[in-house]
Structure 1
Amino acid sequence: MRVGLFGTGPWARRAHGPGLAGHAGVELVGVWGRRPGAAAEVAAEFGGRAYPDQEALIADVDAVAIALPPALQAPLAAKAATAGRHLLLDKPLAATVEDAHAVADAVDAAGVASVVFFTLRFDAGSAAWIDRQAATGDWYTGRADWYGAVFGRPSPAASPYAASPWRQEKGGLWDVGPHALSVLLPVLGDVTEVHASRGAGDTTHLTLRHDSGASSTAVLTLTAPPAGAGVAIEFRGTHGVAAYPENLSGPATDSFHRAVDALIAAIAAPPGAAHPCDARFGARVTEILAAAEAALG
């Protein structure tokens, strides 16, 4: 599969670049970035060549992998899908519901495959744990709390993501909120009610109702003190308590390899057999995030 990488930031260098370069089923054709010098650096490190033009790279590949801010990812993804290219995208899919729907609609119209890289859904240990909770069912409530310290460190330079303008604008709701929803939705079902309130810093407290009848909560922040950072996920029901084990997830590159595998499988699958984390699911997550943002006022 000939793939073009769009994006040159920390996540492109940590996950997308090495994940594509190290996958036996992929040829990394080239890299496009908003900074040509950075694109040349990424291409030199992981393969292919730097492309100065988006359309030229789209024309040369079978699929695109995008590691760009959501407001830039969505229109590029829709353009690539319309050109018949398969999509390996990142979360959140888009910055607005309208843009998210445009991507999902373009995927459907072109009949291409799409996978959104919700990290835990492609980590081997985490995905197996999520699948077990979904199969168990009959949960009364759940919670998925992400306490990120991107902006809570003594020096912003301590995190490579602290300089990200879209994270500074959108905060934990949009950055780590997709992680929480990617766990809660497959286990408890689609969201039917969204309530939100503000906490310290960028912290958002979500309360959700699901179509299974269960409820859930999520605490989402990028401004947690480093000593208080971490992830806490659990489900409670007639079976007892299922808590997400510490240190279960592995390297991001391994998870990205599995996302590439998923895209290859989705391309080969019969029509209509979309991956559970496809663009339509990404659009649904965007809808919930937007509803929470609206509830914050």
Structure 2
Amino acid sequence: MTTPSAPNTPLRIGLLGTGPWARNTQAPALAGHPGVRLSGVWGRRPEAAEELAAAHGTKAYSAEAGVDELFAASDAVAFALPPDIQAPLAVRAAAAGCHLLMDKPIATTVAGAREVAGAAERAGVASVVFCTLRFAPETARWIGEQAALDGWFTARAQWLGALYAPEAASEYAASPWRREKGGLWDVGPHVLSVLIPVLGEVTRVTAAPGPSDTTHLVLRHTSGASSTVTLGLGAPVAAAGVEIELRGEHGVVTLPEWGDAVGAFHGAVDALTEAVRTGVAHPCDVRFGLRLTELLAEAEARAGAETRADAGPPPAPGV
């Protein structure tokens, strides 16, 4: 449990990462938050760190020693890094006494996620995992309203991106980890962060591969409800979109539109600040991030088994 901080004291938050996500979302949200002081920017590329830091009036840090210097100058750190670079740095940050504002997924291995959760628990630091829909004001309110109701029967969710369509020309398409792990790991956390608070913990996962990087999931929840989920980044532009629908005793409800990512990240900063101030853990913390990683790893393994089954047995030796 975290030690409550002094009221009205700006939280010094350092930013790790200088890519498009950091440039477009985290940096402007942190620099513009009234309860936060952006204490610095660290990047693996010194010139990128210098450029992003200068754009927001803060100090640039780079190279190995710079990470620890940023930790020392910060109360908390926000991450805009690939998950398997983020995870070991988060362990170091927690050991240095920094609260954690992590991107999803917190790691792409269960072992890596467990190390982060363990480090945060040992250090007693607060943590928040930035699942966009949990913190965008419009969708956060909707999730809370549906979670307060009983009697949900089933849910259907689709999150299809067109990141790799030639006409999309997205700067996020260049991400190696995203291309390797696909929509399951990139947008799966967003969908699960909606379904679990409303329908309950996932007790059973079935998964099958679809076209391109698409993965189809069937989930069973502790409430007794089931949900079906389709996730992918390689859809045609005309097929892309996000839908989450709940059906139950109260009828049919659908996820509302939400604002921009900067506003949602602002909400995540608010959540971390509140957890630091009160010492009360947020539901979407690194322990929840660990659970998401466990579910995604299980789904990946099950979908992989289906792919191998479709391919048939390997050829006999010498054939």
TM bracket, shorter-chain basis: over 0.9
Aligned amino acid, residue 80 of structure 1: A
Map residues 5-154 of structure 1 onto 2, 5 A cutoff: 5-52=15-62, 53-151=66-164, 153-154=165-166
Tell me which residue corresponds to 1:186. 197
Secondary structure (helix, strand or coil) at the match of 2:171 reads coil
Instruction: State the distance in 2 between where 1:8 and 1:202 align.
Output: 26
Structure 1 unpaired stretches of 5+? none
Q: Give the secondary-structure state (helix, strand or coil) at the position aligned to 2:30.
A: helix
Q: CA deviation at 1:118?
A: 0.6
What is the root-mean-square deviation of aligned Cα atoms in Å?
A: 1.0
SS at match of 1:30: strand
* Matched position secondary structure for 1:137: coil
Give distance in 2, aligned partners of 1:155 and 1:33: 30
Matched, 1:277 2:284: yes
Deviations 1:62-101 (A, max 9, x none): 1100010000111111110111100111101111111111
3-state secondary structure, aligned to 1:161:
helix
Q: How many residues align?
A: 291
- 1:168 Cα offset (Å): 0.7
1:47 Cα offset (Å): 2.6
Deviations along 1:7-60, one digit per CA (max 9) or x if unpaired, are 011110111000000011111111111111111111011231111221111111
Matched, 1:241 2:252: yes
DSSP-derived class of the 1:162 partner = helix
Tell me the CA shift for residue 137 of structure 1. 2.2
Q: Per-residue deviation at 1:155?
A: 4.2
Q: Is the 8 A contact 1:144 1:183 kept in 2?
A: no
Counterpart of 2:274 in structure 1 is: 265
Q: Which amino acid aligns with 1:200?
A: P
**Range moving further from structure 2, 215-224 or 25-34:** 25-34
Q: TM-score, normalised by structure 2?
A: 0.89
5+ long unaligned stretches in structure 2 = 1-10, 305-319
Q: Do 1:30 and 1:51's aligned partners in 2 also have CA atoms closer than 8 Å?
A: yes
The residue aligned with 1:206 is: 217
**Residue range with higher mean Cα deviation, 248-257 or 196-205:** 248-257
CA distance in 2 between partners of 1:263 and 1:154 (Å): 38
Largest Rg, 1 or 2: 2
Identity %: 62
* TM-score, scaled to structure 1: 0.96
**Counterpart AA for 2:273:** I
The answer as to whether partners of 1:3 and 1:28 remain within 8 angstroms in 2 is: yes
Is the Cα contact below 8 Å between 1:32 and 1:39 reproduced in 2? yes
Deviation of 1:235 (Å)? 0.7
